[in-house]
A and B are shown apart, each in its own frame.
Chain A
Amino acid sequence: MYEINICHLYPELLNLYGDYGNIQALVRRLEWRGINVQVHSVSIGEPFLQDRYDIVFMGGGQNYEQDILHKDLLMQKKEPLIEAVENGTVFLCICGGFQLMGRYYKLSNGKEIECLGAMNHWTIGYEKRLTGNLIFKMEGLKQQPDGLVVGFENHSGKTYLGDGVSPLGKVVYGNGNNGEDGYEGARYKNVFCSYSHGSLLPKNPALTDEIITLALKRKYKDFVSLQPLNDIIETLARESMIKRLIKP
């Protein structure tokens, strides 16, 4: 029987805007297919065991909370996290988690906060928050030919992608990474980053299944594909927002 181990990084600190929904979506969609799933919380002072996890999730937090974990993340977890990324572990990093995976976060007062440097992107603090509904288009989303992913963004940093990192998708509605280059999120190896928080995975089951499939294929050489589920409700929710925002 297949089994997937999910690592939830700093769950009590990085859980802004319904981040827990993403974990729940992964868990349910694995359970509904009879695949065993375990969620491991890894917080301050707890070791990140890079070989143990198939999917790593890092959400967003308020500045106050990000301050608390910053030292632990950089001193204790940086190396094994980068190793896991390089080894092809599947990651989902949302909002603050997305920013932390990059090189640095430059505050609007010029001060630079060092980040993990697992990926070549960086974030510049910006006074005006980029907030609102977000729709972006992903290439190669097998179950969902239109490739449209629906979410909500709320960030004050503008993120820019460097060499070696590709965007997760192209903005169709909203701001995305910086409101300038039309990109949303980032992809590197098996890492998925996005500014779309909270209900990203529950409402976009094709993306969820893409992430699950990657993790299963990496772990089990004989794994072929997931059995389809009834996604009528998810589709209704996704399409009602697409209709409301971009199809008059």
Chain B
Amino acid sequence: MKKIINTVRFYVALLVGKISIHLLRITGSGGTSLPGKLAMTIYPEILRTLGAKYRIIMITGTNGKTTTARIIEQILTENHIKYTSNKSGANLISGLVTTLISDVKLNASPTSPTALLEVDEAAFRLASKYVNPAVLVVTNFFRDQLDRYGELFSAVEAVREGIINNPDTTLILNGDDSLCASLGKDVQNPVIYYGMDELPESEEENGKAYNNDASYCLYCKTKYEYLYHTYSHLGYFKCPECGYERPEPLVHIVRVPAMTSEFTSAVIGTPSGSFEAHINLPGFYNIYNALAAVTFAEVLGFSHEKTIKALSCFESGFGRMESISLGEKNIQVILIKNPTGLSQVLKYLATVDKPSVICFMINDNTADGTDISWLYDVDFEPLKNIQSRIPQIFVSGIRAEDMAVRLKYAGIFTDHIIIEKNNQAMLDSALNMLDVGETLFILPTYTALLDIRKLLIKRFKLKNFWQ
């Protein structure tokens, strides 16, 4: 009897979920977590029932989840594998449920039997009780919105607990991150590490880590020694006391022959040989995202040829450096959410040799993190060095004035800083300042990204340039 009741509840939950997805789509509000929430209220076990029907690939970590997911999607596409994914970035449990509900047919069988799910670190712990991912990719751990999560290590421990719940899951881990690499120690899971063997010349100064999230050994609290840093606390770490060190990566960057403001070309070593790939996205930190995706392709035994193709043509997605062309001028929107991420974005901006206009949009809503003091942990030196070719820096968002103060104390000329809290006015004056071929870089926090997306759609009638 109980079984029948559960089956009925499951189908009711599924139906309610599907109807609410449909209704939200019609009203254009495109809610991505509400349907999942409703379905879970009706049948709390729905994630377990649905999850069992899929081959699940999960991606977690602080930075790079979305970009890594986009590259893996392209790899799946090149290999003709049908998949579903939480593209909207709804990466809490309710978002995962919504994604699966919208993929299954009414008889609960999957339309696309592979699910690629980007998941928040704390949500992964919870999800791990319901689903058994075939593969888990972990990108890195940095400080991120500590006002919500307490401490950095709690994110690492959340993922660790989730892994213990799933001893069969294949782990793909960033071996250059001492926190992330530790997830592969003392577990039964198959573990594969990726890492960077050599730095491009332009990055070699990185040894002077500005803010270091983990400079002391996780096991014995001795200061790590580094053969080299790639960025922040990532690199070839080694504990002189207990011997914990960077594990040998199976998939690794051998060389970076070219890094421009449009793309990176990298030689990647794998157990089945090395190859050179053109990564369709600039930014040093994105090399790691590409590497994580390549490791995934290796685990699934895909051909290098198709991986190379995928790396050269994937779409980064809105807010992840996607270039929006407005005819003669361009806009590039880059989501910023923590010190390491923004420091890396500023380093990237310094590689753009044309004059450009920059706009920071800083909000402090819950989804952005209500504490904006992380802006003081960002290395603004690269921006300071190029300020002569940046005529204006706009600051907008709820905390525009605080951002202006931050820039002033970073040594940016105050007459370059314009506080403009009206986004429409900001966009108009910024675009007016650009000459043909130049780019406006908009750097929003999460909810500011939603605001600017809305504005760009309305203003330029851009439709579905994101999903």
Contacts and interface: CB of A to CB of B under 8 A. Distances in A.
Interface of A: 12-13, 15-21, 24-25, 28, 44, 62-65, 67-68, 129, 131-133, 152, 154, 197-199, 202-203, 230, 233-234, 236-237, 240
Contacts of B373: 17-18, 21, 152, 197-199
Given A24-B409, A233-B417, A203 B402 contact: yes
B371 A17 contact: yes
A241 to B, nearest CB: 8
B212 A12 contact: yes
Contact of A16 (B146, B408, B409): B146
Given A62-B151, A62-B153, A198-B371, A20 B405 contact: no
Interface residues of B, number: 32
B175 to A, nearest CB: 21
Nearest to A201: B409
Interface in B12-26: none
A237 B401 CA distance: 5
Contacts of B370: 131-133, 152
B241 interface: no
Nearest to A233: B404
B216 interface: yes
Contacts of A129: 150
A97 to B, nearest CB: 15
Interface stretch (B85-93, B183-191, B351-359, B374-382): B374-382
A198 B409 CA distance: 13
Interface of B: 146-147, 150-153, 211-212, 215-216, 221, 223, 370-377, 401-402, 404-406, 408-411, 414, 417, 419
A28 B411 CA distance: 8
B380 to A, nearest CB: 10
Nearest to B410: A24
Contacts of A202: 376, 405-406, 408-409
A54 to B, nearest CB: 20
Nearest to A63: B151
B376 A62 contact: no
29 contacts: A18-B374, A20-B376, A20-B377, A21-B375, A21-B406, A25-B409, A44-B223, A62-B151, A64-B153, A65-B216, A68-B216, A68-B221, A129-B150, A131-B147, A131-B371, A152-B370, A152-B371, A154-B147, A198-B376, A199-B375, A202-B376, A202-B405, A202-B408, A233-B404, A233-B405, A233-B414, A236-B419, A237-B401, A240-B401
Contact of B371 (A19, A68, A154, A203): A154
B140 to A, nearest CB: 17
Contact of A62 (B152, B221, B409): B152
B377 A15 contact: yes
Contacts, number: 96
Contacts of B372: 152, 199
A67 B221 CA distance: 9
A18 B147 CA distance: 13
B455 to A, nearest CB: 22
Contacts of B216: 13, 64-65, 68
Nearest to A62: B151
Nearest to A61: B151
Contacts of B417: 233
Nearest to A68: B221
B221 A236 contact: no
B146 A17 contact: yes
A145 B456 CA distance: 44
Contacts of B374: 17-18, 198
Contacts of B212: 12
Nearest to A24: B409
A179 B104 CA distance: 50
Nearest to A65: B216
Of A44, A133, A152, A230, chain B has the most CB atoms within 10 Å of the CB of A152
A161 B376 CA distance: 29
Given A132-B370, A233-B414, A21 B419 contact: no
A199 B405 contact: yes
A199 B406 contact: yes
Given A63-B151, A64-B151, A132-B370, A233 B376 contact: no
Contacts of A154: 146-147, 371
Given A64-B153, A197-B373, A198-B373, A237 B405 contact: yes
B402 to A, nearest CB: 5
Nearest to A16: B146
A144 to B, nearest CB: 15
B351 to A, nearest CB: 25
Contacts of A62: 151-153
B225 to A, nearest CB: 14
Given A17-B374, A24-B409, A237-B404, 11 more contacts: A15-B211, A17-B146, A18-B375, A62-B152, A62-B153, A68-B216, A131-B147, A154-B146, A154-B147, A233-B405, A236-B401
Contacts of A237: 401-402, 404-405
B408 A233 contact: yes
A13 B221 CA distance: 12
Contacts of B401: 233, 236-237, 240
B372 to A, nearest CB: 8
A157 B146 CA distance: 16
A65 B410 CA distance: 26
A28 B409 contact: yes
Enumerate the 9 nearest inter-chain pairs by beta-carbon distance, A residue then B residue, closest first.
A198-B373, A18-B376, A21-B376, A18-B373, A237-B401, A236-B401, A62-B151, A17-B373, A237-B405
B68 to A, nearest CB: 26
Nearest to A244: B398
B409 A21 contact: yes
A25 B402 CA distance: 13
A199 B370 CA distance: 14
Of B150, B370, B371, B406, chain A has the most CB atoms within 10 Å of the CB of B371
Contacts of A24: 376, 409-410
Nearest to A27: B409
